[in-house]
Amino acid sequence: MTAARTAASQAPVALDATDRAIINRLQDGLPLAERPFARVAEELGIGEGRLLYRLEQLRDSGVLSRFGPMYHAERLGGGLTLAALRVPEDDYERVTRAVNAFPEVAHNYRREHALNMWFVLATETPKRIAEVIAEIEAATGLAVYNMPKEEEFHVRLHLPV
Amino acid sequence: MCDSICRSEPDSVAAMPAFAPDAVDRAIVLATQAGLPLYPDPWRAVGEQVGLSGAEVLSRMQAMHRAGVIRRVAAVPNHYRLGYVANGMSVWDVDDDDIDRLGREVAGVEGVSHCYRRPRHLPHWPYNLFAMLHGKTRDEVEHQAEALRLRLGSACRGYRILYSSRILKKTGLRLAGAGKS
């Protein structure tokens, strides 16, 4: 996704009660059962077709960034970490391009702190994390602060709407 | 955890035995990592892409869910578009002796999504507990952080909230281990 498209697609949208009910319910998860949308539609008191149509609209308009399985990267055998850089302001654009060029960089955020760039690395194997970090250090000339998770207390994003 | 109606993820992934996805599991992961088809029978729609019956896809996904490989099949809201425009990564310097107990408590506080223990990088980075906060205003996020500070009490030596000021990149997670064996 380009920066321009990201900025343009971030404006808050107005949702009606049905949209809100769908989003709230489906953040909790689709039943892993036959005809799962019919089951959820019944809970919500709407038709299955209506639920699917609304869900498609919410996804296509960008209200939902995604609808589907949330996979646990490490349990699939991969590596995952959070890392940060302290980037000089006048070099920020160059470093952004250099970091984003790595396909292993899944998310990257500018944050208000001396450590002003934070990104998530997702790799095919745990061993590859250290290699990518070394490559990013070489490409940027900056030290990477690697902050792998040592314990996970909660991974749940439920935003009531 | 129930097999069929699963509204939440397994309680303790860490306690689970390792799961080795086979080639069929990996094909399902690849076919669904960008999203689940929005059809009345989504399992059959996935099955058509990977050469399996819908029943087989469903049964494989149930097994992956039991094993913690799938946290849940869910809607991922774009928090900005829902009006949650204040997104702060709160970071806390917490006594190592208490962090596991306190981390579990913090994770249960309203507004907290992800909560992790991570390594310090002294002297520049003393923080070892991370909790993502989401609010419609920064004021709301500050209140959430204050609730966390009270919860942590004297075990907490300091904290910061790092607000995101720009999304530099956001792609779906490219799933490790899914494509290559």
CB contact (8 A) between residue A77 and residue B81: no
Asked if B26 contacts B179 with a C-beta cutoff of 8 angstroms, the reply is: yes
Specify the range with the lowest mean pLDDT, choosing from A20-24, A75-79, A97-101.
A75-79
- The pLDDT assigned to B149 comes to 94
Angle, CA A51 vertex, CA A48 and CA A55 arms, to 5°: 145
The region that residue B82 occupies, defined by phi over 0 for left and psi between -120 and 50 for alpha, beta otherwise, is alpha
Nearest by CB to residue A108, choosing from B35, B71, B168, is B168
CB contact (8 A) between residue A152 and residue B13: yes
Closest CA to A154 of B24, B14, B53, B121: B14
Closest CA to A151 of B10, B103, B155: B103
Asked if A145 contacts A134 with a C-beta cutoff of 8 angstroms, the reply is: no
Report whether pLDDT(B165) > 50: yes
Surface of B (123-142) touching A: CB under 8 A: 124-125, 130, 132, 134
Find the residue in B nearest to A148 (Cα).
Answer: B118
A22 falls in which pLDDT band (50, 70, 90)?
very high
- A160, with CB counted inside 10 A (0-12, 13-18, 19+), is exposed
Report whether pLDDT(B173) > 90: no
- The pLDDT assigned to A159 comes to 65
Asked if A91 contacts A99 with a C-beta cutoff of 8 angstroms, the reply is: no
Which residues of chain B have a CB within 8 Å of the CB of A71? 29, 33, 69-71, 173, 175, 178
A154 falls in which pLDDT band (50, 70, 90)?
low
Q: For all residues of chain A together, what is the average pLDDT?
A: 90
- A89, with CB counted inside 10 A (0-12, 13-18, 19+), is exposed
Q: Is B158 in the A-facing interface, judged by CB distances under 8 Å?
A: no
Specify the range with the lowest mean pLDDT, choosing from A112-126, A133-147, B9-23.
B9-23
- Residue A146 is given by DSSP the state E
Q: Where are the alpha helices (DSSP H) in A68-157?
A: 92-100, 127-140
Q: Is B23 in the A-facing interface, judged by CB distances under 8 Å?
A: no
Nearest by CB to residue B169, choosing from A65, A86, A107, is A107
- Mean pLDDT across B57-61: 97
Q: For all residues of chain B together, what is the average pLDDT?
A: 85
pTM confidence score: 0.77
Give pLDDT tens digits for A40-95. Answer: 999 999 999 999 999 999 999 999 989 999 988 888 888 999 999 999 999 999 99
Q: Which residues contact A59 (CB under 8 A, 6 or more apart)?
A: A66, A67, B35, B38
